[in-house]
Amino acid sequence: MKINVLKNYKELSSTVADIVEEQITKHPLTKLGLPTGSTPFGMYDELVNKKLDWKSVITFNLDVYLMNITRPQSYQSYMRKNLFDRTNIYPDNSHFPFRPFSAFEDKIKGSKGIDLCILGIGSNGHIAFNEPGSSFKSRTRVVNLDEQTIIDNARFFDSLDDVPTQAITMGLGTIMESKKIVLIANGVKKKSILNQAMLGIITEDVPASILQNHKNVKIYYCD
């Protein structure tokens, strides 16, 4: 698989924002799969500055912590702050994984599936919160977060003990049904896991490696 290496974080953010812009402009009824974490901050800023028309766009977030959603660290708060409150997206059109999970999956299927899914990658090779060992056939479900993920994400919380230990995530099977996938990774600390996932063997121990089986995936990385 080709890993496209970009000059810097600005170029990474604008490249993926341009891909989302093209998708929305050509197909106003687009269904997007959206990530959280630190990597997409620049992409969301660029998208907001483009002043696109989001009124017919439908979004499905990849995952949510099991926590009080009114707290600033929740992914619901993150999305409002970084994208939803800064665009004309219709609130009923933005979805987070919800129970019953079969209804969430039906909601994706009922909207004819995700057209473009943007992903980050965890330092342990997770995509969304599909931690190492997740089944390639997995669907939306509750997961226990890996110790490494809790350590990595502690920077967003007051302390390590404050980080939620569980989340709801789209499954790898769910994500793989997206028509197009773009994965973004920022920083040398992601380089070795990215190489392992995209150039190494396809194994459930490295969840992102499943993307090697997808027909339309683009990978962007910057140091």
State which of positions 68-127 bind ligand PGA (CB under 6 A).
120-122
Active site residue 63: yes
Q: Which positions ≥6 away from 37 have C-beta within 8 Å?
A: 120
Catalytic-residue membership of 186: no
For residues 136 and 172, the answer to whether their CB atoms sit within 8 Å is yes
User: Does 144 participate in binding ligand PGA (rule CB under 6 A)?
Assistant: no
Please say which residue, 8 or 88, places its beta carbon nearer to ligand PGA.
8
CA distance 164 to 157: 9
Based on the residue annotation, tell me whether 223 is a catalytic residue of this protein: no
Site for ligand PGA in 37-56 (CB under 6 A): 37-39
Tell me whether residue 146 is one of the annotated catalytic residues: no
Among 212, 200, 208, residue whose Cα is nearest residue 120: 208
Q: Rounded to the nearest 5°, which phi and psi values hold at 180?
A: -130, 145
**Residue tagged active-site, from 63, 105, 115, 146:** 63
Would you count residue 33 as binding ligand PGA (CB under 6 A)?
A: no
Could you tell me how far CA 117 lies from the centroid of its own chain?
A: 7
The residues that touch ligand PGA, with contacts defined as CB under 6 A, are 37-39, 120-122
- The catalytic site residues sit at 63, 124, 126, 131
